[in-house]
Amino acid sequence: IAGITQAPTSQILAAGRRMTLRCTQDMRHNAMYWYRQDLGLGLRLIHYSNTAGTTGKGEVPDGYSVSRANTDDFPLTLASAVPSQTSVYFCASSPRGLAGGWDEQFFGPGTRLTVL
Amino acid sequence: RKEVEQDPGPFNVPEGATVAFNCTYSNSASQSFFWYRQDCRKEPKLLMSVYSSGNEDGRFTAQLNRASQYISLLIRDSKLSDSATYLCVVNPYSGGGADGLTFGKGTHLIIQP
């Protein structure tokens, strides 16, 4: 692996189902993030993690949960999917986190999720 | 007032022309600023950071005006490959905790042959 990967690439999901989006980075970055991108709304932060073992809520956390058991993985779980969660989901990582100021964020290729 | 505002465009520009767009931000305590580029159905990628003194990278020039709270991006001698959406990004971090980068909705640029 080089960089940051996400799985699945795309998914169609029935409302009410549970779904976990996977994100893995091999850059040993401290911080990781989940965003959703919707037409007309731009990228919005769902949850973040400054370091393994810690997580925080972003702008739109409701209906989503995350965990950060180790440095490399940052899965995003939808406990009971709803149609409004139809979106493109991007995972990102950065070496030091936002406290690093000029820290660049590297994005994964995204997961396109449709909830019917 | 939205935190980060951009003109969505599209900007239709002939190849070889110079194009500029601005972005305004509302949080005067914002610490760092970036332009990201996003191609259709792809992930955003860092184009350049925006420093107070202004900075240039080849055909691209970025400037920050803290007093008026805006950043700008200038593209000279535009190429067809410059066609993309340009995202203005602000880091509002002020020491109290990480809230995530704030993204503008993007400016869509189309370079025409």
Nearest Cα of chain A lies from the Cα of B74 at a distance, in angstroms, of 21
Nearest to A45 among B32, B87, B100 (CB): B100
pLDDT tens, B84-103? 999 999 887 654 444 568 89
Nearest Cα of chain B lies from the Cα of A77 at a distance, in angstroms, of 19
Residue B41: its pLDDT value, please?
86
Q: What is the mean pLDDT of chain A?
A: 92
CA geometry: angle at B107 spanning B18 and A105, to 5°? Answer: 105
- The CB-side HSE value for A113 (13 A sphere, CA atoms) comes to 32
Residue B96: its pLDDT value, please?
43
Residues 6 or more apart from B22 whose CB is under 8 A from it? B6, B7, B70, B71, B72, B73
pLDDT tens, A9-52? 999 999 999 999 999 999 999 999 999 999 888 899 999 998 99
pLDDT band at A104 (very low <50, low <70, confident <90, very high): confident
- Selected residue with higher pLDDT from A113 and B31: A113
Q: Pick from A104, A105, A111, A112 the residue to mutate for testing the B interface (most B CBs within 10 Å).
A: A105
pLDDT tens, A61-100? 999 999 999 999 999 999 999 999 999 999 999 887 656 5
Residue A88: its pLDDT value, please?
97
d(CA B31, CA B45): 20
d(CA A77, CA A57): 14
Ranges of chain B with pLDDT below 50: 95-98
pLDDT band at A102 (very low <50, low <70, confident <90, very high): low
CA geometry: angle at B38 spanning B2 and B15, to 5°? Answer: 105
Query: Which residue on chain A is closest to B49 by alpha carbon?
Result: A102
